């Protein structure tokens, strides 16, 4: 007997089918809805299950109502809520892309730790931990691997 619910479940049954973290599917973008001054997309799975996805993270993706959106199950929380992450329109996880370097920054927590700030296709600044270059030898573009994508934000590492 468990005193607390199992956290970060790997799967859940929904409409009689097992849904696992990492499962990919096509979703239909139904409409937008406003709940407590926050905008959400309502998307529908092939099994006709509907999900709320916060719109603010995906505005640059330029989704349109009625569009099919490919996504995956990113998380299932302890109460059984399923979180869907739409695929990024320009980047794929574990793929390598070239990024323009904007500047170098020191970490607020550890001044000896350096980050390279690069720009993605939407103009967002992304910090990459600098483990390869000295401050004087930073090129204008660097190859980075996309480690993960969460809430529309890409997480990068320098590709060696």
* Residue 91: exposure state from Cβ atoms within 10 A (0-12, 13-18, ≥19): middle
pLDDT the model gives residue 85: 95
pLDDT the model gives residue 7: 47
What is the CATH number assigned to the segment(s) 11-86?
2.40.50.140
pLDDT the model gives residue 137: 73
pLDDT the model gives residue 9: 60
Q: What is the helix (H) or strand (E) element at residue 141, kind and residue range?
A: strand 141-150
CB atoms within 10 A of CB 19: 20
pLDDT of the chain, 160 residues: tens digit per residue: 334 444 456 777 777 788 888 899 999 999 999 999 999 999 999 989 999 999 999 999 999 999 999 999 998 888 888 899 999 999 999 999 999 999 888 777 776 788 899 999 999 999 998 776 666 677 899 999 999 999 999 999 998 7
pLDDT the model gives residue 134: 66
pLDDT the model gives residue 17: 80
Asked if residue 66 lies in contact with residue 32, where contact means CB atoms within 8 angstroms, the answer is no
For residue 105, the cross-strand partners are 115
Tokens of 74: 């990113």
pLDDT the model gives residue 109: 78
Please, which residues have CB within 8 angstroms of residue 160's CB and are 6 or more apart in sequence?
132
Please, which residues have CB within 8 angstroms of residue 60's CB and are 6 or more apart in sequence?
122, 124, 152
Tokens of 99: 């990024």
Domain boundaries, the chain: 11-86, 96-158
Q: What whole-number distance in Å separates Cα of residue 102 and Cα of residue 117?
A: 6
pLDDT the model gives residue 58: 96
CA-closest candidate to residue 11, choices 80, 71, 79: 80
């Amino acid at each position: 007997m468990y005193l607390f619910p199992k956290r970060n479940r790997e799967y859940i049954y929904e409409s009689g089918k097992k849904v696992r973290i990492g499962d990919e599917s096509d979703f239909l973008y139904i409409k937008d809805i406003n709940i407590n001054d926050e905008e959400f997309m309502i998307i529908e799975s092939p099994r006709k299950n509907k999900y709320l996805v916060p719109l603010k993270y995906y505005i640059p993706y330029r989704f349109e109502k009625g569009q099919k959106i490919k996504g995956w199950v990113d998380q299932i929380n302890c109460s059984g809520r399923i979180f869907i992450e739409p695929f990024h329109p320009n980047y794929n996880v574990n793929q390598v892309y070239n990024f323009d370097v904007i500047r170098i920054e020191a970490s607020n927590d550890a001044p000896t730790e350096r980050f390279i700030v690069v720009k993605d296709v939407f103009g967002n600044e992304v910090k990459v931990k600098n483990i390869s270059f000295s401050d004087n030898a930073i090129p204008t573009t660097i190859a980075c691997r996309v480690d993960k994508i969460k809430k529309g934000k890409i997480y990068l590492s320098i590709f060696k």
